[in-house]
């Protein structure tokens, strides 16, 4: 069965500034890779709807969202050393969250889906943008899944950076579990192994340059620990492809086939729960494209 791939044109219109690594070409590269002729039977294209304010406010307080929208209306501006908005960035962020929401809906209906979300989300805190992220797409999607009856949601994050925003938003709620493998010490400096939340956080901090088999093994071991006695109703993958060997913002040694293998093994482990991927990082376009192709093929 083809994998629904959710997208929205507004995700290409977020411009954080000249030379910024989180550039529009990222999502273009993903979509072009998935539109290749050899992917035609694998992908079902679906344009998403922008997220509703109700869905966003399950995660982010209204004054924070109002501030982002206001800054965009003023033409944009700098939020922190890494994170900036242009006039179109609010529309892009709401579209990206909508891509994640609709990916959950399609994933529940078909068994799997992938959302080409940009800007990424896993560093976004409840009331603070950081690390290129404005809205936490994965947690917005998880809360939406719970509204649709998927009471227990597992988020697995293989981005090379720790998803500090995701952890902060879920660590006091036992209905959500979070597994993150990330380079450590590295930006944003969080994600130590002893950060456990209410027993629902499973961090796998690892140094750069290890054999790829070590990273592949250790993420699966953490997932197995998270699943022990706790069958999820939905699995969300925060799919960051900056953990691939050669990405300029990380030092991991993984290859696209490692993401494919992870995806296949995760599907087996959580079956019959749906599996939904949402795009996080990835800053070398050829690697990002190859990683997305591998992940979506395995979702099929």
Architecture field, domain 3-299: 3-Layer(aba) Sandwich (3.40)
pLDDT band at residue 47 using 50, 70 and 90 as cut-offs: very high
Q: How many Cα atoms are found within 13 Å in the side-chain-facing hemisphere of 190?
A: 18
pLDDT band at residue 48 using 50, 70 and 90 as cut-offs: very high
Contact assessment for residue 259 and residue 227, using Cβ atoms and an 8 Å cutoff: no
Would you call 119 helix, strand, or coil by DSSP? Answer: coil
Spell out the residues 6+ positions from residue 143 whose beta carbon is closer than 8 angstroms to its own. Answer: 55, 58, 59
Closest CA to 180 of 232, 236, 103: 236
Tokens of 285: 């376009």
Closest CA to 48 of 119, 103, 108: 103
Question: For the chain, what are the domain ranges?
Answer: 3-299
Contact assessment for residue 59 and residue 129, using Cβ atoms and an 8 Å cutoff: no
The model's pTM is 0.98
Residues known to be catalytic = 123
Radius of gyration over alpha carbons of the chain, in Å?
Answer: 17
In Å, what is the CA distance from 239 to each residue of 76, 77, 81, 155, 202? 27, 27, 24, 10, 17
Write down the pLDDT at residue 266: 98
Q: CA-based angle 90:43:7, to the nearest 5? A: 5
Instruction: Give the rounded distance of the alpha carbon of 64 from its chain centre.
Output: 21
Alpha carbons 160 and 156: distance in angstroms, whole number? 12
Write down the pLDDT at residue 289: 98
The predicted-structure confidence for 162-213, as pLDDT tens digits, reads as follows 999 999 999 999 999 999 999 999 999 999 999 999 999 999 999 999 999 9
Write down the pLDDT at residue 21: 98
Write down the pLDDT at residue 33: 98
Write down the pLDDT at residue 240: 98
What are 206's strand-pairing partners? 183
The predicted-structure confidence for 269-291, as pLDDT tens digits, reads as follows 999 999 999 999 999 999 999 99
* Alpha-carbon torsion, ordered 14, 21, 103, 53, to 10 deg: -40
């Amino acid at each position: 069965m083809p994998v629904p791939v959710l997208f929205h044109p507004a995700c290409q219109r977020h411009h954080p500034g000249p030379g910024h690594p989180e550039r529009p070409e990222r999502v273009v590269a993903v979509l072009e890779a998935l539109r290749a002729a050899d992917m035609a039977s694998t992908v079902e294209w679906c344009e998403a709807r922008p997220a509703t304010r109700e869905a966003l406010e399950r995660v982010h307080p209204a004054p924070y969202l109002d501030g982002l929208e206001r800054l965009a209306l003023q033409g944009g501006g700098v939020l922190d050393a890494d994170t900036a908005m242009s006039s179109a960035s609010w529309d892009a962020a709401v579209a990206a969250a909508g891509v994640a929401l609709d990916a959950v809906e399609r994933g529940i209906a078909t068994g799997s889906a992938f959302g080409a979300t940009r800007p990424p989300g896993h560093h976004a805190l409840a009331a603070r943008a950081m690390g290129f992220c404005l809205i936490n797409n994965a947690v917005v999607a998880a809360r939406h899944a719970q509204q649709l009856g998927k009471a227990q949601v597992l988020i697995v994050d293989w981005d090379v950076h720790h998803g500090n925003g995701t952890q902060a938003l879920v660590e006091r709620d036992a209905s959500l579990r979070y597994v993150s493998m990330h380079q450590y010490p590295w930006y944003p400096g969080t994600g130590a192994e002893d950060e456990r939340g209410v027993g629902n956080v499973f961090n796998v901090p690892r140094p750069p340059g290890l054999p790829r088999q070590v990273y592949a093994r250790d993420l699966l071991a953490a997932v197995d620990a998270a699943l022990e006695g706790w069958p999820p109703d939905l699995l969300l993958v925060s799919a960051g492809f900056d953990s691939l060997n050669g990405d300029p913002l990380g030092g991991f040694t993984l290859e696209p086939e490692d993401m494919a293998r992870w995806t296949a093994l995760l599907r087996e482990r959580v079956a019959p729960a749906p599996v939904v991927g949402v795009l996080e990082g990835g800053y070398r376009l050829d690697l990002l494209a190859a990683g997305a192709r591998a992940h979506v093929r395995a979702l099929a």
